[in-house]
Structure 1
C-alpha cells in the first residue's frame, strides 16, 4: 500500500514540474565602442525581467556597484642551463700527449657560489675501444661564472692503439650540491 502511495506522489510531482517554464538567460549589459567592439559594462540601473511573451516577471534591484583593482606579482625562476655545444677535433701523432682547453657557457650567472656542479656522463674515455683509457676530462666541479673556462680534455696518445677517426658524445648535466 505504501509503495503505491509513494509511486502516485512521484507521478504527481513529475506531472506538475513538467509544465514549468524554461529559465531566461540574463546577459550583462554591453558597452559598444566606436569601432563596433562590445565590452562588458557594470550595470547602473535596476533590471526588469521579461518572459518570452513580454510579461514582466520581476525586477532586480541594484544593491551595489563596485570596481575592484587587483595587483599581482609573479616570481619567475629560470633554471641554470648549458647553452653551448662543444665540438673538439684533434689529430694525435704517435705517442703525443695533448691538452685541449674548452669553455662551457651557461644562460646566466649562478645565484649561489659553490652550489651548482657541472657533471659529465663520462670523464675517462676509451676513444678507440681497445681496453685502455686514453682520454680524460678534467674540470673544477662547481659553476660560479657564466662562462666556465677551467675545463681540459687530455688525450694520451700512448694508449691509442688503433688508427682512424673516432667520435664520442659526452653529455653534461647541472646538479645541485646537497
Structure 2
C-alpha cells in the first residue's frame, strides 16, 4: 500500500513538473541541440531500494520513462559602469590658472536621460594641504552619453603655496537620481 502511494506521488510529481515547466516529448522528437548539449540516458530497468545496512527494503518498478525538454530565457541587465581611468599631469608655474578638459568613457549609453549622475569623492581639493582650496572639478550634472566631454579640472596657482609634486586619487561613482 505504501509503495503504491509513493509510486503515485512520484508519477504525479513527474506529470506536474512536465505540465508546469515544459512539455513531455518522446526521446525521438528531441530537436538537434548541437554537439555541446547531451541528453542524459534514462533508466531502463527496475531499481532495488536498500537501507543503510545494505538490506533490500523494496523495489521501484519502472513503468514508463520520458524526457522533458525545457526551454528557458533570461533577461540580462548590464549596469552602467565607468570604463576609463584618468591620469592628469599638470605643471603650474607661479600664479598660473589652468583649465584642463578631460573625458570619461562609460560602457554604454544610459537607458534613461537625466537619471544618472557622476559623483566624485572630492570636487574641491586642497592639493598642497595648506588649508586653501586650489583645485576644482566641474562636470555636467547628468550622464546622457557614452563619452562625457564636459569635464574640466581647474587649478588656481595663486592658492598653491608650497612647491613640489602633489598627487591625489579621486574616485568616481555613478549615482541614480532619486
Normalized against structure 1, the TM-score is what?
0.68
Deviations 1:104-142 (A, max 9, x none): 111111111111110001101111111111100000121
Distance 2:169 2:47 in 1: 74
Q: What is aligned with 1:25?
A: none
Q: Which structure has the greater CA radius of gyration?
A: 1
1:66/1:120 CA distance change after superposition, 3 Å: same
Aligned to 2:96: 96
Alpha-carbon distance in 1 for matches of 2:74, 2:47: 43
Q: Which residue of 1 aligns with 2:84?
A: 84
Q: Which runs of 4+ in 1 moved over 3 A?
A: 57-62
- CA RMSD of the aligned region, Å? 2.5
Partner of 1:6: none
1:58–1:130 Cα change, 3 Å: closer
Equivalent pairs counted in the alignment come to: 135
In structure 1, C-alpha distance between the alignment counterparts of 2:131 and 2:58, rounded to whole Å: 92
Shift of 1:48: 7.8
